[in-house]
Amino acid sequence: MRVSSGVPGFDELVDGGLPTDRLYVVSGPPGSGKTTFCSQFAAQGARNGDDVLYISMHETKAGIREDMAGYEFGFDRALDTDRVTFLDSFSAEGRRFFGLPGERRDRSGVTNRLTGFINSRDIDRVVFDSTMLLRFLLDDDEDTMIQLLSSLKRCSATTLLISEMTDPSAYAEEHYLAHGVVFMHNYLEDEGMRRGVQVLKMRGTDIDTDIKDLEFTDEGLAVGSAATVVR
């Protein structure tokens, strides 16, 4: 089974949609559209009647709502339904999940709490924004990180994990562990900055790995010819 990403034009790059219940990594430089892409995925889920867990390690619910309010894909409406559970790492509930930075207590419990939550609530789609602050909260404990990623892979939810790639010359564990990797590009060309999206890998799927044009439209991000249609 496949689910729609909610990003016009993207599903065609991955043979019709994202295979369900798998782990995907979304990477790219600052401002390249990672959070917007994932918010569209979450809103699409809510529209389909999926239960969605949206975890932000660095933004509050009000902050994301404000950032996405200008778009028509309805993330603000989705946030108001019971379909979407929002967890930010600095709220009381978020701290219960992730602990405080530097706190040595029970780090490995993060995996159990998170996968327990996803499984017990039958969550269908998960967005995790992002690994940079997760690594910080986990004190760079790679064992816990790998344990968490492996458990997320086994959950029966389709998960988008944002990874900033703080070292652009080196892939991180999550790029290898994930079933798929999507890159958002923001690069300089003769006529100025251009945005693009590229599916680097998607196991079991015949993909188009070229960099496709990506645009911000009123309906959020749109890929290639879909961008001109919704503009």
Ligand X SMILES: Nc1ncnc2c1ncn2[C@@H]1O[C@H](COP(=O)(O)OP(=O)(O)OP(=O)(O)O)[C@@H](O)[C@H]1O
Instruction: Kindly state whether residue 35 participates in binding Mg ion, applying the rule CB under 5 A.
Output: yes
Q: Are 211 and 205 in contact (CB under 8 A)?
A: no
Choice from 35, 111, 115, 159 touching ligand X (CB under 6 A): 35
φ, ψ at 83 (rounded to 5°): -65, -30
* Helix, strand, coil share of the chain (percent; to 5): 35, 25, 40
Between CA 141 and CA 229 the distance in angstroms is: 45
Residue 101: CB atoms within 10 Å:
12
Instruction: Kindly state whether residue 39 participates in binding Mg ion, applying the rule CB under 5 A.
Output: no
> What are the structure tokens assigned to 41, written together?
């995925």
Q: Which stretch binds Mg ion (CB under 5 A): 18-26, 31-39, 188-196, 213-221?
A: 31-39
Choice from 90, 97, 171, 216 touching ligand X (CB under 6 A): 216
Which of 131, 158 has the CB closer to Mg ion? Answer: 131
Instruction: Kindly state whether residue 131 participates in binding ligand X, applying the rule CB under 6 A.
Output: no
Helix (H, G, I), strand (E, B) or coil at 214: strand
Which of 86, 115 has the CB closer to Mg ion? Answer: 86
Residues that bind ligand X (CB under 6 A): 28, 30-36, 70, 216
Residues that bind Mg ion (CB under 5 A): 34-35
